[in-house]
């Protein structure tokens, strides 16, 4: 399914003309194809199934979370991974069933743990021994937990979004004695139920073999727990990280084929290791929402520098689009009024923030942009709104959901009053 359709004089999302949204809501504007998100949720659910295992899909909230998004995830029957009080309370406020919430984080506070317990979340993923002490200090009832492990798998992605090299801050190494001690403490605690293992090897991963390697190392660890320590493991959570297409350089693997083969691999490895089949889960974030989203900007000045570099300035910035500055991420964009016109030159798309690194797209082939035309940047549904800031006191844009039936605001644009509302003189 394509989230957008290019016509000679505009771009449609479902049947909605993006130009009409600008008239109503202005720019910058995040627009997300709700039908596409539902389609992805259904595709993941249908593909991540196996006759011999129970499976579960936790949508990783950090990619994009609002009350409306929580409702969508609930309606589509996915579970939810949260990592902070804010994400947890967004889920609770939207009425999400707490038994389907999994609580992550490498430094959960006492308040976060207490709140997770109060709302009876389904699973808490313990990251380290200090966190376990905190959890034990505030337990009021039995709690299912997973332990986050670091198997040191090298997934080929940007250093900042790779999470399981040996020096990563996340989880406990499978090679450390401390990890076994921590699991034994959980196993022996009368109110804690040690369910199993969690790992997330990184984000925007294109090689399915990395997930196979991860699964193998975790199953090997499960075997060791069983044989050496007599501890059984009922859950195996492989995290998220499934890559998506930002530009034509990206070549994501086929979810349907890959999920089938990883689940079959887990089955044969369990058989070989003499392990009972665990409940297997994943935590996709980006792959559910990234391609659903576009950001629309108004084009302002253009400038050719003394050295010949051609800039196009837009009315947004790194405050609503940080991924290029942070990860050298690449994007594609079109002029909304002329999406099918052949490009004439390669431009750098820059924002209005006071920062030389405020570049949205370093090399963007476009027809000569005109003042007051609009630029549509594609694949901005994940880690854009959720990573937006108020740098330079710029305001966060609204978010619109476009379904088959309607376009509706799911987050209002921030106002100057909102911005000043927390200041005290």
Q: Does 293 bind ligand LLP (CB under 6 A)?
A: no
State the greatest distance between any 2 C-alpha atoms of the chain, in Å, as a whole number. 71
Looking at the Cβ atoms of 37 and 312, the one nearer to ligand LLP is: 37
Cα separation, 200 vs 152, whole angstroms: 10
Q: Closest separation between CB of residue 321 and ligand LLP, Å?
A: 11
Q: How far apart are CA 263 and CA 281, in angstroms?
A: 10
Residue 91 pairs with which residues in a beta bridge? Answer: none
User: Do you find a cis peptide bond into 388, omega within 30 degrees of 0?
Assistant: no
Smaller CB separation from ligand LLP, 35 or 204: 204
Question: Is 339 a residue that touches ligand LLP (CB under 6 A)?
Answer: no
Contact 10, 373 (CB under 8 A): no
Q: Give the other-Cβ count within 10 Å of 133's Cβ.
A: 10
Residue 79 sits at the vertex; the CA angle it makes with 243 and 261, to the nearest 5 degrees, is 45
Q: Where are the beta strands (DSSP E) in 310-421?
A: 310-314, 333-335, 345-350, 359-366, 374-378, 398-402, 407-411
> Nearer Cβ to ligand LLP, position 52 or 328?
328
3-state helix, strand, coil in the chain (%, to 5): 35, 25, 40
Q: Which is nearer to ligand LLP, 265 or 327 (CB)?
A: 327
Q: Which is nearer to ligand LLP, 160 or 229 (CB)?
A: 160
CA–CA separation, 410 and 413 (whole Å): 10
CB 239 within 8 Å of CB 199: yes
The verdict on 321 binding ligand LLP (CB under 6 A) reads: no
CA distance 32 to 258: 26
- Decide whether 240 or 351 has the Cβ nearer to ligand LLP: 240
161 contacts ligand LLP (rule: CB under 6 A): yes
Nearest-CA neighbor of 105 among 140, 159, 66, 60?
A: 60
Q: How many CA atoms lie within 13 Å of 38's alpha carbon, on the beta-carbon side?
A: 13
Least separation in angstroms between residue 163's CB and ligand LLP is 6
How many Å apart are CA 291 and CA 308, to the nearest integer? Answer: 33
Catalytic one of 138, 199, 354, 364: 354
Q: How far is the CB of 81 from ligand LLP (least distance, A)?
A: 6
Report helix, strand or coil for 93.
helix
Residue 389 Cβ vs ligand LLP, minimum distance, rounded to whole Å: 13
**Residue 169 or 303 with smaller CB distance to ligand LLP:** 169
Stretch that binds ligand LLP, among 35-43, 237-245, 266-274, 356-364 (CB under 6 A): 237-245
Q: What's the angle, vertex CA 102, arms to CA 99 and CA 107, rounded to 5?
A: 140
In the complex, the smallest distance separating the C-beta of residue 246 from ligand LLP, rounded to whole angstroms, is 10
**Per-residue mark of binding to ligand LLP, 183-222 (x: CB under 6 A):** -----------------x--xx------------------
The residue count for the chain? 425
Q: How far is the CB of 8 from ligand LLP (least distance, A)?
A: 33
The DSSP 8-state label assigned to residue 169 in this structure reads S
Instruction: Give the x-and-dash track for 379-398 against ligand LLP (CB under 6 A).
Output: ----x---------------
Residue 285 is a binding residue for ligand LLP (CB under 6 A)? yes
Q: Is 323 in the site for ligand LLP (CB under 6 A)?
A: yes
Give the list of residues 6+ apart from residue 23 with CB closer than 8 angstroms, or none.
none
Binding test (CB under 6 A) with ligand LLP, winner from 3, 151, 240, 351: 240
CB-wise, 6 or 43, nearer to ligand LLP? 43
Active site residue 354: yes
Looking only at residues 50 through 69 of this chain, which bind ligand LLP when binding is defined by CB under 6 A?
60, 62-63
Piece of 109-117, 233-241, 293-301, 366-374 that binds ligand LLP (CB under 6 A): 233-241
Q: To the nearest whole angstrom, how small is the minimum distance from the Cβ of residue 207 to ligand LLP?
A: 14
Site for ligand LLP contains 127 (CB under 6 A): no
The set of catalytic residues is 354
Q: Which residues bind ligand LLP (CB under 6 A)?
A: 60, 62-63, 81, 104, 161, 163, 200, 203-204, 239-242, 283-287, 323, 327, 383
């Amino acid at each position: 399914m394509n989230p957008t359709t290019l016509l000679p004089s505009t771009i449609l999302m479902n049947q909605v003309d993006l130009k009409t949204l600008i008239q109503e809501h202005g720019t910058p504007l995040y627009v997300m194809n709700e039908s596409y998100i539902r389609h992805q949720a259904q595709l993941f659910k249908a593909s991540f199934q196996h006759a011999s295992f129970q499976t579960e899909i936790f949508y990783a909230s950090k990619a994009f979370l609002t009350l409306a998004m929580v409702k969508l995830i609930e309606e589509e029957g996915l579970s939810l991974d949260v990592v902070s009080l804010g994400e947890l309370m967004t889920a609770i406020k939207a009425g999400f069933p707490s038994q389907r919430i999994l609580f992550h984080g490498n430094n959960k506070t006492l308040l976060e743990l207490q709140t997770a317990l109060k709302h009876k979340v389904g699973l808490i993923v313990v990251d380290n021994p200090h966190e376990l002490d905190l959890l034990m200090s505030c337990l009021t009832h039995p709690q299912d937990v997973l332990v986050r492990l670091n198997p040191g798998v090298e997934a080929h992605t940007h250093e900042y979004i790779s999470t399981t090299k040996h020096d990563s801050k996340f989880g406990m190494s499978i090679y450390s004695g401390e990890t076994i001690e921590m699991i034994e403490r959980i196993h022996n605690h009368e109110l804690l139920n040690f369910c199993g293992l969690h790992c997330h090897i990184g984000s925007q991963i294109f090689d399915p073999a990395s997930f196979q390697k991860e699964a193998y190392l975790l199953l090997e660890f499960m075997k060791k727990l069983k044989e050496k320590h007599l501890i059984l493991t009922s859950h195996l959570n492989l995290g998220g990280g499934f890559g998506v297409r930002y530009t034509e350089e990206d070549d994501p693997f086929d979810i349907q084929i890959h999920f089938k083969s990883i689940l079959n691999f887990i089955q044969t490895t369990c058989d070989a290791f003499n392990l009972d089949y665990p409940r297997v889960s994943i935590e996709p974030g980006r792959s559910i929402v990234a391609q659903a989203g576009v950001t629309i900007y108004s084009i302002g000045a253009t400038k050719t520098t003394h050295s010949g570099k051609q800039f196009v300035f837009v009315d947004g910035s790194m405050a609503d689009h940080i991924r290029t500055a942070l990860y050298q991420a690449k994007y594609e964009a079109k002029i909304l009024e002329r999406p099918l016109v052949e490009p004439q030159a390669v431009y750098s798309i820059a924002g209005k923030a006071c920062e030389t690194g405020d570049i949205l797209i370093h090399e963007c082939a476009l027809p000569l942009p005109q003042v007051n035309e609009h630029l549509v940047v594609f694949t901005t549904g994940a880690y854009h709104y959720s990573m937006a800031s108020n740098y330079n006191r710029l305001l966060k844009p609204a978010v619109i959901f476009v379904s088959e039936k309607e376009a509706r605001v799911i987050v209002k644009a921030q106002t100057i009053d909102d911005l000043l509302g927390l200041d005290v003189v």
